[in-house]
Amino acid sequence: MTKPNILILMCDQMQARRMGFVDGIAYTPNLDALAAEGVHFTNAITVHGQCVPSRCALMTGMSPHECNVMVNYGFFNHCGHLTTKNRTFVNVFRDAGYTTAHFGKSHLGSPLKTMGFDVGECLDGHFPKGHEPIERIRVHEELHSQGIDSTQGEWPQTSTHYKYLKQGLDWLTNHEPGGKPLLFMFDTNLPHPPFYFEDEWRERFKPDEMVLPKSYYEETFEGKPAFLKKHVERGPHKLESESKLREEMAQYYTMISAVDKACGQVIELFKQKGLWDNTVVLFLSDHGDMMGGHRFTRKGTMPYEELYNIPCILKLPVGMASRRKTIDDVIVSTDFGAALLELAGIEGPEPFDNNDMVRALHRDHAPEDGHVFFEHYAAWWGLHPFYGVRTATMKYVRYYGDDNTEELYDLAKDPDELHCVAFDPAYKKQKDKLAALADDWWARTCGQSVDFYESDAFRYNLNRPEGAVTV
């Protein structure tokens, strides 16, 4: 049987709930149609709530602390990035005879070829070009000290999106399969800040009609880590005003509609070329945006659903079926590469030899003990390292740095994560069990202390000579 093609449609900073068939406000007809044809995973969790670690983990199938990329390079002198030592799931597809192509953002700090792609173009944005890793982070810090946010890249957001979309569509139009299956990844930088209105959908989304999250109004921060309240009141996560938030949310929706339209164009081309029926499609984002949740903006340093629950749609090729159309099993982004390999009938080497995503397709119900792990380390606005575990109904978080505290949420009763029950005696038994699970994961995957991660050897990636990148 001919191996299926793989189409990965990836976007940036999109919350799970911002699809038309989920929230009723978003306008995403192409994603709605994809979900109708495929399977919607409602509890897909990214292993990390920020760009580079999330993307590196997706590619390698390893958690950020396992692939040594825990921070967006540049933050706090960390310059960890993937190198040829890291094998990606795309490398495995290429070795199995696939043509592999990538167009758009990668943000992996490494050339596409190193990541396993035969062809493509990428925006490995967020750094001035022409600098080696250690020098680049110095440039980054210098700009930051001058009050310049160099994380916003060198190009306007919108032209970047359309540039790589056009390049991808052009390549795909001219691509002759030659009997080889195709892995094609379109990876857009939208809907990343700075937010703006995509004109085509401006009239559809009125700021005063936006529905703000319940936690925007009701968050008290009682019983939560102290830094959260400080950040929201004084720090870089502070919202300017409700009207600004409403405007940003409307802008966010227009950018998501642009993502949707682009996905529709790629899908249409797959159909025109006769590839569609034998193609596995995965739509996802690298993480979400707080978008007013708990009165935060942006991302990083907090473990909430707005960031960690990502959109996830899987379309299977003709001849394969899922027992459910909507799957609420918790699954994690480090499983996605392994799942794509399994669906293509390719035996993946470790860690691509095991995943729960495909198993979920064959189940009628989520397993009672289903759980996944996640982590964060640091972002520009602070070093607040944590790891945690998410089940279908609970979330536990352990802060292992100076914060030295815990969070626990009963998501079944409190989906907005307003009431931290980590220190509620009624939840002690559940907390102890989840804490033991999370601690065991951290120990057996060689999780380390802050001192280790703050050592120069780790931050400067000094043991990785081939890590010198040209982006």
Nearest distance from residue 468's CB to Ca ion, in Å? 24
Stretch touching Ca ion by CB under 5 A, among 29-37, 50-58, 130-138, 288-296: 50-58
Interface mask toward Ca ion for 92-131; x: CB under 5 A: ----------------------------------------
Nearest distance from residue 320's CB to Ca ion, in Å? 30
CA distances from 379 to 144, 350, 387 (A): 13, 30, 15
Q: By rule CB under 5 A, what count of residues binds Ca ion?
A: 4
Q: Confirm or reject binding of residue 12 to Ca ion (CB under 5 A).
A: yes
**Interatomic CA distance for residues 106 and 109, integer angstroms:** 8
**Interatomic CA distance for residues 210 and 248, integer angstroms:** 10
Nearest distance from residue 189's CB to Ca ion, in Å? 8
Residue 183 has φ and ψ, to the nearest 5°, of -110, 115
Please give the angle made by the CA atoms of 289, 193 and 249, to the nearest 5 degrees. Answer: 60
Closest CB to Ca ion among 52 and 137? Answer: 52
Which residue, 302, 222, 335, 313, is CA-closest to 267? 313
CB neighbours of residue 426 within 10 Å: 9
- Binding to Ca ion (CB under 5 A) within 332-371 occurs at none
Closest CB to Ca ion among 58 and 79? Answer: 58
Residue 317: alpha-carbon gap to chain centroid: 24
**Structure tokens, 181:** 């299956």
- Binding to Ca ion (CB under 5 A) within 62-81 occurs at none
Nearest distance from residue 395's CB to Ca ion, in Å? 21
**Structure tokens, 267:** 């899908």
Closest CB to Ca ion among 309 and 405? Answer: 309
CA distances from 146 to 132, 180, 362 (A): 21, 50, 54
Nearest distance from residue 170's CB to Ca ion, in Å? 25
Nearest distance from residue 248's CB to Ca ion, in Å? 16
Stretch touching Ca ion by CB under 5 A, among 44-52, 123-131, 331-339, 351-359: 44-52
Stretch touching Ca ion by CB under 5 A, among 51-59, 163-171, 225-233, 272-280: 51-59
Stretch touching Ca ion by CB under 5 A, among 4-12, 92-100, 212-220, 356-364: 4-12
Enumerate residues 6+ apart whose C-beta is below 8 A from 241.
Answer: none
Please give the angle made by the CA atoms of 105, 171 and 186, to the nearest 5 degrees. Answer: 30
Stretch touching Ca ion by CB under 5 A, among 3-11, 217-225, 281-289, 350-358: 281-289
Nearest distance from residue 291's CB to Ca ion, in Å? 14
Beta-bridge partners for 408: 396
Q: Which residue is nearest to Ca ion (CB)?
A: 51
What 3-state class would DSSP assign to 428?
Answer: helix
CB neighbours of residue 466 within 10 Å: 10
Among 124, 286, 306, 335, binds Ca ion (CB under 5 A): 286
Stretch touching Ca ion by CB under 5 A, among 7-15, 32-40, 87-95, 409-417: 7-15
Closest CB to Ca ion among 13 and 188? Answer: 13
CB neighbours of residue 367 within 10 Å: 14
Nearest distance from residue 160's CB to Ca ion, in Å? 13
Residue with tokens 């007809």: 29
Q: Confirm or reject binding of residue 406 to Ca ion (CB under 5 A).
A: no
Nearest distance from residue 51's CB to Ca ion, in Å? 3
Phi-psi region at 153: left, alpha or beta (left = phi > 0; alpha = psi -120 to 50): left
- Sign (positive or negative) of CA dihedral 42, 45, 50, 51: negative
Stretch touching Ca ion by CB under 5 A, among 19-27, 43-51, 265-273, 419-427: 43-51
Nearest distance from residue 294's CB to Ca ion, in Å? 19
Nearest distance from residue 111's CB to Ca ion, in Å? 20
Closest CB to Ca ion among 123 and 232? Answer: 123
Closest CB to Ca ion among 40 and 55? Answer: 55
- Binding to Ca ion (CB under 5 A) within 176-235 occurs at none
Nearest distance from residue 261's CB to Ca ion, in Å? 20
Closest CB to Ca ion among 13 and 254? Answer: 13
Residue 470 has φ and ψ, to the nearest 5°, of -120, 115
**Interatomic CA distance for residues 381 and 368, integer angstroms:** 37
Do 123 and 111 touch, CB atoms closer than 8 A? no
Q: Confirm or reject binding of residue 51 to Ca ion (CB under 5 A).
A: yes
Stretch touching Ca ion by CB under 5 A, among 10-18, 21-29, 77-85, 275-283: 10-18
**Interatomic CA distance for residues 184 and 172, integer angstroms:** 9
Do 456 and 419 touch, CB atoms closer than 8 A? no
Helix axes 242-272, 157-174, angle to 10 degrees: 10
Contacts with Ca ion by CB under 5 A lie at 12-13, 51, 286
